[in-house]
Structure formats: C-alpha cells, structure tokens
Amino acid sequence: MSLTVVGSVAFDALETPFGKRDRVLGGAATHFGLSASFFTEVNAVGVVGGDFTDAEWDVFRRHHINTDDIEVVPDGKTFFWSGRYDYDMNTAQTLDTQLTVFATFAPKISKNSKKAPVVFLANIQPTLQLGVRKQCENAEFVAMDTMNYWISSVKDELLETVKAVDCIIINDAEARQLTDEPNIHKAAKAIMDLGLRAVVIKRGEYGATLFTPTSFFSTPAYPLESVFDPTGAGDTFAGGFMGYIAAQKDINDDTLRRACVYGSVMASFNVEKFGTERVDELDYPEINQRFKDFKRMTHFDDIPFERAVTA
C-alpha cells in the first residue's frame, strides 16, 4: 500500500555537544518520508522556497519519494529552524524559527496522494490536518502527530482531528497535556476512548509504548552510548511505524507491534548522525540486524516458577 505524508520540509541549523551544522535538510515530512521509504512508496505533501536546491531534491529522489505535491514558492524561503541540545539530549532549545513559506501552507493534495491507503498527518495546524484527512476519504489507516503549542492554543479543534484518525503518535508530555492526566496509561486510555485503534507514546531514551483497545506493548530505545543529534527522531520513528504498516496486508496487533519495533529501529539510526545523514545511507541488512537486536534486547523464555515450600 502506498503512503502519503503531509508536513514540513525544512532547513535546520543544529548544535549538539558533538558538533554543529549551519544548514541541513530537515522537517517532519522529510524525516518521516525517508524512514517510510524503506518500507513502501511515499508521497510527500509540503512546501519549500526557491532556495531548495538539487542537493535536497536528490535526497528525496534517491529514496523514490514522490515529491509532486511539494509546492515550490520560487520567491519564498524554505522553513528554517535552529536549535541546540545540551548534554541532556531529550529536549532541544529553539534558537530561531522562520516559518516563511510554511506560515501560509495550505496542503494541495493530488489525486495520486489522495488515493494512498495509509496517511500520516505530521505536526501542522490541526484544522489543516482535518482537511487533509477528509480529502483522503478512502484511507484505511490515518495517523497524526501534534505538539504542545496546538494542545494549549486550539485544543477543541485538535480533539476534532484526533476523533477523525485511527492512530496518534505523540510523546508522553503531549499525551499528559492533552488529557490533563498524569498517569500515562490513563492518558493513553482517555485518548483511545476518542475512537482510536492505536495510541503510540514516544518516550525518548525510554523507548516507545503502543496501546490498542485490548493490548499494551512496549519497546526500549536502542542502547546508544552517543546520541549525536536527536532532531527528527520522532518523525523517523513514525516513518518506520507507518511505512511498515503500509507494507502489510493486515493491520492487527502483531503487525502494530512489529511496526513499533521498526519505528524504534529507524529512530535509533536517525540519531547517529546529523539531520538525515544516517537514514539516507541506510541499507536493509543494517535495518534487519537492528530489528534482531531489538528482539534479543527484550525477549526471554517463559518458565513458570513455584517454590516448593517445606514448612
């Protein structure tokens, strides 16, 4: 099944304890699309400025991502974000945000992109997300991301959008904020009760947790001694998760679990280099080896225990 992602395409300036980049390819649709492209055909919907060069388009081309729906505003500038990470790599400090062409982004979705059975609404204004969701009326599985800004500023619109999708992929702070519920399991349940098939909570260095109406699944993060640049890890996770789902015949508990592991696999690569550098160069043997590593990290034999008490 093909997959359509709607979201930002950007230039990022990054500073981490391990180095600095003044301008790398970034944005949610970029990180998501690259990651998903290892699993299925991807259509990306977004907007860029005239400063987007062949070097950037080449990254999409290399991964066979359909960019027909990435609008180019020739006299505009591409969305720019600048951030810094200190030794606590869990949270970025935003140094600069220039929305530019992204400020007035109105997703234009071609017939081809609308036909995709799997759709990901990356973090954009919730009403725009809902508009896209309605246009992709035949989609079988639609997931969304969001952020603290929309939860505090347009919660009602956001909740309407959540009700219209099958799955939400957010971090734990967002889940708590969305539901006013400090316990993450209660928070996930409250979101699920809006009518979702799956709630995925991203927990940074602690991994990811998948809730369905009937089950709970948890995967740790891959043990990395150095996280080089966490930018885009969440979108790369979502790309692996949704890409894997799009490649399956059935979407069931087992495929959702494996999707969660593939998401974690892809995110673990993303943070090993700056921007898209690591995922851009990935191959299948690496991906499958790390998937196996995740199995080894979490599996154990099931041998029931009973102590023979001699009292």
What is the distance between the alpha carbons of residues 53 and 118, in angstroms, rounded to a whole number? 29
* Contact (Cβ atoms closer than 8 angstroms) between residue 191 and residue 201: no
Within 251-270, the residues that bind a copy of itself by CB under 8 A are 254, 257-258, 260-262
Within 39-68, the residues that bind a copy of itself by CB under 8 A are 39-40, 64
Which of 244, 270, 275, 282 binds a copy of itself (CB under 8 A)? It is 244
Lay out the site mask for a copy of itself across 171-210 (x = CB under 8 A, - = otherwise): -----------xxxxx--x-------------x-xxx-x-
Taking the chain, what is the end-to-end CA distance rounded to the nearest angstrom? 62
Q: Which residue has the tokens 């180019």?
A: 72
Number of Cβ atoms within 10 Å of the Cβ of 55 = 8
What is the distance between the alpha carbons of residues 260 and 241, in angstroms, rounded to a whole number? 5
No. of H helices and E strands in the chain?
A: 12, 13
Alpha helices (H) along 63-167: 111-114, 126-135, 148-153, 155-163
Provide the minimum distance between the beta carbon of 142 and a copy of itself in the complex, in angstroms, as a whole number.
21
Provide the minimum distance between the beta carbon of 237 and a copy of itself in the complex, in angstroms, as a whole number.
16
| Residue 64 backbone phi and psi in degrees, to 5 | 55, 35
Provide the minimum distance between the beta carbon of 89 and a copy of itself in the complex, in angstroms, as a whole number.
9
The SS3 call for residue 270 is: helix
- Of the pair 104, 298, the CB lying nearest a copy of itself is at 298
Q: Contact between 225 and a copy of itself (CB under 8 A)? A: yes
Provide the minimum distance between the beta carbon of 65 and a copy of itself in the complex, in angstroms, as a whole number.
11
Q: Is 146 exposed, middle or buried (0-12, 13-18, 19+ CB in 10 A)?
A: buried
Q: What residues contact 189, with CB distance under 8 A and at least 6 apart?
A: 211
Within 272-301, the residues that bind a copy of itself by CB under 8 A are 284, 287-288, 291-292, 295-301
- Residue 150 carries which side chain, given as an amino acid letter? W
Q: Contact between 93 and a copy of itself (CB under 8 A)? A: no
Provide the minimum distance between the beta carbon of 112 and a copy of itself in the complex, in angstroms, as a whole number.
16
Q: Contact between 88 and a copy of itself (CB under 8 A)? A: yes
Contact residues toward a copy of itself (CB under 8 A) are 38-40, 64, 87-88, 182-186, 189, 203, 205-207, 209, 215-220, 223-227, 244, 247, 254, 257-258, 260-262, 284, 287-288, 291-292, 295-307, 309, 311
